[in-house]
Amino acid sequence: MIKRIFAIFFAIAMIISVAACGNTANKTTPSGTPATTQPGTSNEVNSDVPAETAKLQIVYYGEKSNRLKEFEENELKERLKKDLNVELTLTYLTWDNYGTGKTDLMLASGEDFASYTDPANTSNRVSKGLFADLTEAADKYLPDLKKVVEPTAFESFTIDGRLYAIPFGNKPNSAEGYAVMVRQDLLEEVGMNDIQTLEDLENFYDLCKEKHPDYIGTYEVMANARKFLSYAYSDKNVEFFGDFVFTDASSDDDKLYSFFESEEFKRFAEINERWVKKGIVPDYNLANPNQSLAEWHAGKVMFSSGTAGKPYQSDTIDSIRKNNPNAKLKNYFINRDGRPKINSQPWCVSYFVSASSENVDRYVMLFNYMQKNQDKSRTRTNAG
């Protein structure tokens, strides 16, 4: 699920942060030699941008808004051509292609592109030889990014001493997916103020279903709900490592548990069965996930997995508000009872480059360019 939470943030963040580069970015002369920068600025390290124009492609998931499309085709295009001699294409796929589907086809067919990844996805694709080794390029072209990203973030994407993805920003995903993101306007419409327990969430569904019979509970499959329901089915702080193994984030030991052999899984399965019978999870979620996602964007879904911070306010909320102008999203922790936020893993959303790319260095230069100085970081943060 990763990814839906942060995806649009990074899409908007990237293009707007690039636009903010302005006069502070390294300029390149027609011959490809970087211009001299002022001593003491964050641009003291030059990247030796080649004179040859590089055509780069970054794949995102979701929908490209008209505002972003216009920005990409005008100011972004001009800025990247001027500062990096890059022609960048932003390609958008539907969310069911993250880590599979068309993304895998693009990797297998040898397309030249970059996109974002997580540790589990990285390990799987590296074992198949689908991600480029970024070690040397990162050593050479990431002086600015390394100043603002914690070294531990790189460790999560390092395999056998080699780096296969570039952490972007410095936002460890503490509690990612462990909150439930609720349509707050619907919650208030049925006379409720907040969600504290699993019982509250199910009661919200029942009351909302009475008012809106055509609405569904969640557009996601139950595998995504296992995190935000974990406080309800376990007395442990269930921290997942992949799909099959978890640990207790509150324990001092390093014991690992098999999820599918645990009491936690039995209790989760009971919730799953109840939700399917109640209709909280529609029976077409697995067979036709695009239908459920379309209903979310249409404003006919009550809740989904949440984020560690604020709900993502991008094309999702914009699309919902087309039919529901007063729509609001809010995160809640279910049955938390004072326990700490979990998922202490230090990784950030990171970018990989396809193994067949002939532009590895240029992608890494682009990632560094987005972290040149505080002005760009501030602009990127405000954009999110």
Encode 2-38: b = buried (16+ Cβ within 10 Å), e = exposed.
bbbbbbbbbbbbbbbbbbbbeebbbebeeeeeeeebe
User: Is a pLDDT exceeding 70 seen at residue 28?
Assistant: no
Per-residue model confidence (pLDDT) at position 250: 82
Whether the CB-CB separation of 168 and 118 falls below 8 Å is answered with no
The torsion defined by the Cα of 341, 345, 348 and 353, in degrees rounded to 10, comes to -150
* CA–CA distance, 6 with 348 (Å, rounded to integer): 10
Whether the CB-CB separation of 45 and 54 falls below 8 Å is answered with no
pLDDT band at 119 (very low <50, low <70, confident <90, very high): confident
The torsion defined by the Cα of 63, 7, 18 and 38, in degrees rounded to 10, comes to 180
pLDDT band at 12 (very low <50, low <70, confident <90, very high): very low
Query: pTM of the predicted model, to two decimals?
Result: 0.61
pLDDT averaged over the chain? 81
User: Is a pLDDT exceeding 90 seen at residue 22?
Assistant: no
Quick one: which of 346, 377, 361, 371 has its CA closest to 114?
361
Per-residue model confidence (pLDDT) at position 377: 46
| Strand pairing class (114-117; 350-353) | antiparallel
| Region 77-96 average pLDDT | 90
Per-residue model confidence (pLDDT) at position 230: 93
E-only strand ranges, the chain: 54-61, 86-93, 114-117, 158-159, 162-163, 166-167, 180-183, 216-218, 238-241, 245-248, 256-258, 301-305, 329-332, 350-353
Per-residue model confidence (pLDDT) at position 30: 35
Amino acid 320 reads I
Please write the tens of the pLDDT for every residue from 224-277.
899 999 999 999 989 887 788 999 988 888 899 999 999 999 999 999 999 999
Please write the tens of the pLDDT for every residue from 334-347.
998 887 766 655 66
User: Is a pLDDT exceeding 60 seen at residue 168?
Assistant: yes
User: Is a pLDDT exceeding 70 seen at residue 212?
Assistant: yes
Please write the tens of the pLDDT for every residue from 309-326.
555 544 577 788 888 999
Per-residue model confidence (pLDDT) at position 41: 35
Please write the tens of the pLDDT for every residue from 138-154.
999 999 888 888 788 89
The three-class DSSP label of residue 340 is coil
* CA–CA distance, 375 with 17 (Å, rounded to integer): 9
Domains of the chain and any CATH numbers? 4-173+347-383 (3.40.190.10), 180-332 (3.40.190.10)
- pLDDT-wise least confident of 28-37, 148-157, 354-363: 28-37
